Structure 1
């Protein structure tokens, strides 16, 4: 009787698998390993959602969406190639390495265990899934290090100083000709921007950020009510940090009383130019009495300190390590790109889209 039950169960599983395989098409095959439409769509969905939320309607063209779809598929192909290479080269990641990496994430984000678990829950990710993702990342890093380490050399003193000179040209003039490659010129411009940021006026702030992005109906109404409640609490004289601890959407900001550290002019423009402007109009101790509406929600901000802009140029020694790290990162990106290109050249890849 038991054997019959097992046989029926096995037959049911085979039939179910056959039906699933028939309905779940393959979008690509990498060295005889299929990438199914379901897993591709799972990877595409959040990317597409973010694109639609942050991109003006006029730019949400079929052509741009197609580019996004192709990019996600390319990433999935690279993911399979990496996993195959990891398996082939028998690369292992220990439980301690995974735990150390998880602890580093918590530390870098200033998250308590409770806040970390709350963020995972908010993102709909289990701890096991997060640790599995960390394991894959660590294994991939080991793979890259073992196969592309020869290209990842810290730049010499002369190379670093020469690049510093190019950066200072960009500090003086954003459009200065550096004679560098397009990528290196862009890097010099980015470092110049950071140098100017470090040299300019800065403000230490606390924020109350109440998210409304992607909300509608009762959820949007509830968020708007929280904005009104936060405004009333501040008006009643409750401390800004106390109100921030209660009303911030982010668990991390609630945990630290809305402490957002130091910002320079322009930093907050990526959220809202009005928010950035408000910060540097406020005196120390002042805060916005009314919420500032942005594309992602409402903000209150308080300025707790200010640093005047420096009147002396940034020296080579001050930015030497930053420049070396930046140049090393460029070398690493190139090494990774070259390695992936090599993996692709040696692979059999068939795309079915």
Structure 2
């Protein structure tokens, strides 16, 4: 009798240890209270919305494993090389830029790229077989409804400040009247269609008469763009933005297919909600 009681007591403690801090179990894979709190802070969402995101992520991870989808280190390396090339940087400079802007080490960046590529492969496996290219009527209708999405500045008038030291350049950003011989400047007009998407996004989100954050200049130093003028928004003719429209339509279709797929998967999956953050 004592042996039986001891065994039951031990099982209770083991079970409590396993579930200590666990909020949700998705097909045997745990989501912790800490996971939910971190997601709430990162996404600025309430506990239910944050938990829904984490459950979807778990279902994607499990589905990826069950389908035998994998990503090699060479695929990760090639993707990073492409991003560096788009920004006119060497790999070393790109790693430095990511670390400066996002605080990610090269290992953390590689892991994020791996997860991105795994997701892309999974999404393709689920969605592509169910998707058809949009018709001309669909393209025209989408363009009419989303014209503002295909507008962008024609160019940016900027002053580019460069320095070997980021701290030195930051002095200029913090105090526009500051002047130093080791900070060089040049005025340029940057056509929207001639710069990288990453730079275009940086310039677009920087207010007029303000500096962008200091970013690597691809030569071992740093640079900041002072926005003097944003030249008139340009609305692309439908033919000039047709590929963008197709990509947008396909993206919408893909997300709808994926949302439906994972909603059905969630309904049928073994999901046990144990507790939620207080």
> TM-score scaled to structure 2, two decimals?
0.67
Distance in structure 2 (CA, Å) of the matches to 1:42 and 1:78 = 16
Structure-to-structure mapping, 1:250-269, within 5 angstroms: 267-268=204-205
Distance in structure 1 (CA, Å) of the matches to 2:116 and 2:201 = 31
Which consecutive residues of structure 1, in runs of 5 or more, have no partner in the other structure? Answer: 1-17, 49-66, 168-187, 210-221, 243-255, 279-290
Choose between structure 1 and 2 for higher RCO, CA contacts under 8 A separated by at least 6 residues.
2
Distance in structure 2 (CA, Å) of the matches to 1:293 and 1:260 = 10
The answer as to 2:271 corresponding to 1:326 is no
Distance in structure 2 (CA, Å) of the matches to 1:205 and 1:293 = 10
Q: 1:157 to 1:139 in 2, by over 3 A?
A: same
The answer as to 2:193 corresponding to 1:193 is no
Distance in structure 1 (CA, Å) of the matches to 2:56 and 2:161 = 40
The answer as to 2:193 corresponding to 1:240 is no
Q: CA deviation at 1:110?
A: 4.2
Which one of the candidate residues 151, 156, 161 is aligned to 1:203?
A: 156
Q: 1:302 to 1:346 in 2, by over 3 A?
A: closer
Q: CA deviation at 1:350?
A: 2.4
Q: CA deviation at 1:140?
A: 2.0
8 Å contact from structure 2 (residues 211, 227) kept in 1? no
Aligned to 1:145: 124
Higher-strand-fraction structure: 2
Which one of the candidate residues 231, 253, 271 is aligned to 2:177?
A: 231
Equivalent position SS for 1:335: helix
Q: CA deviation at 1:81?
A: 0.8
Which one of the candidate residues 31, 37, 41 is aligned to 2:33?
A: 37
8 Å contact from structure 1 (residues 44, 69) kept in 2? yes
The answer as to 2:81 corresponding to 1:83 is no
How many pairs are equivalent?
A: 239
Alpha-carbon RMSD: 4.2
Higher-helix-fraction structure: 1
Which consecutive residues of structure 2, in runs of 5 or more, have no partner in the other structure? Answer: 1-13, 163-167, 188-194, 214-223
Per-residue displacement from partner, 1:54-99 (whole Å, max 9, x unpaired)?
Answer: xxxxxxxxxxxxx433322222111111111111111122222111
Distance in structure 1 (CA, Å) of the matches to 2:150 and 2:98 = 35
Distance in structure 1 (CA, Å) of the matches to 2:112 and 2:202 = 32
Per-residue displacement from partner, 1:291-349 (whole Å, max 9, x unpaired)?
Answer: 6799xxxx87255x986777xx8543223222222111111111221122122122122
> TM-score scaled to structure 1, two decimals?
0.54
Aligned to 1:282: none
